Amino acid sequence: MTDIQLIGSPMAPEAEEVVPALVGAERVLQPLARRGVFRRLMRDWTARIGFVLVVLLVLAAVLAPLLAPHEPLALDGGSFESPSWSHPFGTDRLGRDLFSRILFGARLSLGTAFFASLLITFAAVFVGSVTGFLGGAVDSVVMRVVDTILAFPSLLLAIVVAGLFKPSLWSLMLALASVWWVGYARIVRGLVLAVRERQFVTAARVAGGRSSRILIRHILPNVLPPVIVLATLEMGTLILAISALSFLGLGAQPPTPEWGAMLNEGKNHFFSAPHLMLFPGLAISAAVLGFNLLGDGLRDVLDPKS
Amino acid sequence: MRQTTSQAQPTVTVDASTAGRPLLEVRDLRTEYRSPSGIVRAVDGVSFTINPGEVLAVVGESGCGKTATALSILGLIPRHAGQVVGGQVLFEGEDLLSVRAERLRQIRGDRIAMIFQEPTLDPVRRIGDQISEVLRAHRALSHHDAWNQAVEFLGLVGIPRAAERARDYPHQFSGGMRQRALIAMAVALRPDLLIADEPTTALDVTIQAQILELLLEVRRSLGMAILLITHDLGIVAGFAERVMVMYGGRKVEEAPVRSLYRQPKHPYTWGLLGCTTRLDGNRRDRLPQITGAPPSLISPPTGCRFAPRCPHAQELCRASYPALLEVGDRHRAACHFAEGEEWGSS
């Protein structure tokens, strides 16, 4: 290799060896599985804590029937028993085992938050990408609607929507999803606008790609990493919102072992039996903390500037 | 180019119906961009032709309308930024400015392809998939066949171990290799015209030479015409057959390469040539430069647009825009004093 390479001959081996050093911002957007996202995530101890918390909660939710020492609705203890070996978190007014109720409550809180998050993400990605990609009148009209919804405090609006239905976790989930998606649609639209202007999108157009295909094959995969981060951070907020609305009596109804509803039941006995509020409160905190730490960690790992 | 010689025969076939007709004929193209300070006439009445298999270079400074011309041809001026306001772009007699969107989509990529200055590919998709996708957008190919053709073309453009590297993601390629991959993507459908917009500007000088050679090689084996857009007259000489010089959104000179380099008729062209470093020059001389900046295309100067920067400008130049006149064999220039002047003498 003393000379300039001639026509079309394979590139010098040196050039290939340089490649790993040339990885730039684009590396970040490569599909997650191939990039050791998990390994890099685990290097950060706060993300590790978040991950462990989330895994524990998910395990608790999935394995609740196996782990729970008692039926969550069975009245098989004395009233207001303090924590003991047979009732690790004590019992409530009706003698139900609090530990078992919290395990089953994980199913409800995580499940509801997860499906709400899924609904929100789908709605936001759909609306955000279509408006961002098409622009023009569609964009203006939809974004004005979004602005209008954003002008209200979202929790208040969710209370109004939930109030329209018979209180249940399902109506709560739909109420939350129906007001929560707007902010995310805005963010997704912004991300799509940024990707749309990148040259590989023009190149795909020059190559005769159809718009629908360009959107699905080129733009969406490129906005996915931040959307994943958002959805994770959103889980924490949603768990909190679900508990809050259930605490206010708009979501899960007694005897459903939902954490917020349990807080509500315990609040009248706070001074005599503080464990009734302590343990559901801790469960909510652990869930929110877990998803926030995990989301933060994911953001650092998926951040193009890292 | 081992693979090329064995399989791809030159495909310059000029059938009876298209004989003698230019491949692309641009007539009086006008493109405007909107800007906060007013309408920018980026392309202001440009006409030119490209014959099948020909290489035409479009030369000029930044902001003189080269890229806007290319984007206008393919209908790629973003709607929110501007629009083509006049003229015709006849591709084999079909006006691309008035065809339906679906027809334009069919022509893009298949008949006319384009490569850009920045070698950017979609960062989240494998190189091979991206090339296959272009093939499948225009041909009824199975995923497997498209992939094999993609690998074949990657080999053709000089990517070693193409079958393996097709599975790589863009960040695993160097800039030069990415530009090669983009060339593979552009020529995979054997287009009749390749528009190359500053294809080497973002690359190292050594890679530049390789990429230009590669383009010529691909052209030889696939027989397509090339519209090369560049600001570097230095790379034009060995590459193009004809050169068109643009200034201020207009064509100021057009000539076969030889006659342009030997006898530049427009003082702007002369200035551009003067800016090129010469190995045989006096080393103590300062590199000449064209003083000043290109004219504002929002309110261009009346008269010759180059007049404010032209060392030879006269009253006439400031008063009226010179017509594009024949000044030699297939050599035209838009200068009041193009005939018989030797600009180098001053």
Six token digits for residue B147:
């992939």
Is A15 an interface residue toward B (CB < 8 Å)? yes
CB contact under 8 Å between B174 and A199, yes or no, is: no
Q: Full-prediction pTM beyond 0.90?
A: no
CB contact under 8 Å between B80 and A135, yes or no, is: yes
B185/B180 Cα distance (integer angstroms): 9
C-alpha angle with apex B275: B271 to B279, nearest 5 degrees? 135
CB contact under 8 Å between A16 and B169, yes or no, is: no
The residues of chain B that CATH labels 3.40.50.300 are 2-8+22-240
Look at residue B292 in the predicted model and tell me its pLDDT: 77
Question: What is the SS3 string spanning A83-95?
Answer: CCCCCCCCECCCC
Q: Mean pLDDT over residues A232-252, rounded?
A: 88
Residue A304 pLDDT more than 80?
no
Q: What are the domain boundaries of chain A?
A: 42-302
DSSP alpha helices (H): ranges in B19-80?
66-73
Interface test with B, best of A3, A11, A23 (most B CBs within 10 A): A11
Look at residue B342 in the predicted model and tell me its pLDDT: 55
DSSP alpha helices (H): ranges in chain B?
2-7, 66-73, 101-110, 127-138, 143-156, 162-165, 175-187, 205-222, 233-236, 257-262, 267-274, 315-319
The partner residue sitting opposite B160, judged by closest CB among A11, A210, A217, is A11
Asked whether the bond before A255 is cis by omega within 30 degrees of 0, the reply is yes
Interface test with A, best of B171, B178, B207 (most A CBs within 10 A): B171
Look at residue A255 in the predicted model and tell me its pLDDT: 80
Look at residue B196 in the predicted model and tell me its pLDDT: 93
As beta bridge partners, residue B230 has B59
CB contact under 8 Å between A8 and B176, yes or no, is: no
Topology annotation, domain B2-8+22-240: Rossmann fold (3.40.50)
CB contact under 8 Å between A30 and B109, yes or no, is: no
**How many Cβ atoms from other residues are within 10 Å of residue A20's Cβ?**
10
B218/B11 Cα distance (integer angstroms): 11
Look at residue A168 in the predicted model and tell me its pLDDT: 84
Look at residue A226 in the predicted model and tell me its pLDDT: 87
What would the CATH number be for the domain defined by A42-302?
A: 1.10.3720.10
Low-confidence residues in chain B, pLDDT < 70? 1-19, 275-287, 339-346
Residue in A132, A159, A139, A141 with CA at minimum distance from that of residue A227:
A132
Identity of residue A147: D
* 3-state SS, residue A294: helix
- Mark B259-283 as b/e (b = at least 16 C-beta within 10 Å): bbbebbbbbbbbbbbbeeeeeeeee
Query: Chain A: residue nearest B165 by CA?
Result: A16
Look at residue B276 in the predicted model and tell me its pLDDT: 63
A254/B154 Cα distance (integer angstroms): 65
Residue A13 pLDDT more than 70?
no
Residue B163, CB-side half-sphere exposure with 13 Å CA sphere: 3
B150/B26 Cα distance (integer angstroms): 32
φ, ψ (nearest 5 deg) of residue A99: -60, -45
Residue in B92, B48, B1 with CA at minimum distance from that of residue B246:
B48
Look at residue B232 in the predicted model and tell me its pLDDT: 83
The partner residue sitting opposite A206, judged by closest CB among B76, B125, B177, is B76
As beta bridge partners, residue A85 has none
Look at residue B184 in the predicted model and tell me its pLDDT: 92
Please report the ipTM that was assigned to this predicted complex.
Answer: 0.75
Q: Mean pLDDT over residues A280-306, rounded?
A: 84
